[in-house]
Amino acid sequence: MQPRVIFDFARIKPLAGWSISGAAVGTGLALYLSRGRIIAPLEMMLAIAAVILIQWVAHPLNDIIDYDLDRQAPIGDTGRIKPIVDGRISIKETAWLSACFILVIFAILAILIVEQPLLVLPASYGVGALLGYNSSRLRLAYRPFTELYLGVPINTLTVLVISYIGSGELSAISLLVGIVFGFAASSFFLSMMSMDFPTDRKNDKRTSIVAFPRLHWCTYYPSIGLFAAVLASVLLFDQIGPGPTIIFASLAGIFFGVLIWYGHRVDRLRLDFLAGKVMDPEAAAGPLRLGQLYTSIVYAAVLAVFFALMGV
């Protein structure tokens, strides 16, 4: 096995969009809640490592169950790298590599749970989501609505847990901001499903997009996120003050507006494919999906800096 394969399984762009961005927002909130002083830096770094590794190992596990689909999909045209499909690593080797990752994750989680027993709850959900989504039995990846019961909760928990460990405070602010971030980060998830729609439909992978292909999923989802951000702004008003609330709401309006615009274009592309106007939507959807990803990453960075500056 080539060392490069391990890096390619990381998929840096999605990793940055979910776990790294969530950890950044959580860190910013921890600095805000603790007034600029992280109370448990080592434990927080371990938690960040666990979050990143959980998403990292999800990629090779998912490649195993998606192997037959990936061989049919235009992977190269969408800019993705699949080491198993490329022939650089076998399925058996990938399974062993994933097992090593999981052992490291369990070791880190055990240390954190001993220090903070409350963490057994989000840790259990995170591991359950990892194994359930990529299990050959449960095959949650092949069922609809994972963006709602996995995408948003996982990203919300990342923000909540990192901020809790770093500040020692289980805060409603972190929960609300985490939910908003969860919708922003997961918008890319739906656009990826839409990009894979032709291959997924042919192989009975019933994502939300495949189950209800004519609904404007990629537009509705960030629109719900924008509504959540507006509601969060109202609820945060008394806690962070009028000025910061206006900034928070304005940022949400700008970034979710961009996510909605990209989502609408992805939906339009899929509907044109269904109408026979577009023959190859997967390659065309790739740049739109990346546009959403980059937008959510920048949004997360801005949120992290915004809350960190309020804490120092």
In whole angstroms, what is the distance from residue 57 CA to residue 61 CA? Answer: 6
% of the chain beyond a pLDDT of 70: 97
Q: How far apart are CA 127 and CA 168, in angstroms?
A: 23
* pLDDT tens, residue by residue, 243-255: 999 999 999 999 9
Q: Supply the pLDDT for residue 73.
A: 66
Mean pLDDT of 227-239: 96
Question: Residue 275: is its pLDDT beyond 90?
Answer: yes
User: 63 CB contacts (<8 Å, ≥6 apart)?
Assistant: 9, 70, 82, 83, 84, 85, 94
Please give the full DSSP string across 20-74, using - where no structure is assigned. IHHHHHHHHHHHHHTTT--S-HHHHHHHHHHHHHHHHHHHHHHHHHTHHHHHHS-
Residues in the chain: 312
The pTM for the full model equals 0.94
**What is the residue extent of each domain of the chain?**
3-311
pLDDT tens, position by position, 211-228: 999 999 999 999 999 999
Q: What residue has token string 């924008």?
A: 226
Q: How far is CA 135 from CA 19, 50, 130, 140, 247, in A?
A: 21, 20, 8, 7, 42
pLDDT tens digits for range 145-171:
999 999 999 999 999 999 999 999 999
Q: Lowest-pLDDT range, 105-114, 136-145, 261-270?
A: 136-145
Q: What is the dihedral of CA 78, 80, 82, 83, to 10 degrees?
A: 130
pLDDT tens track for 66-102? 888 777 766 666 667 888 988 889 999 999 999 999 9
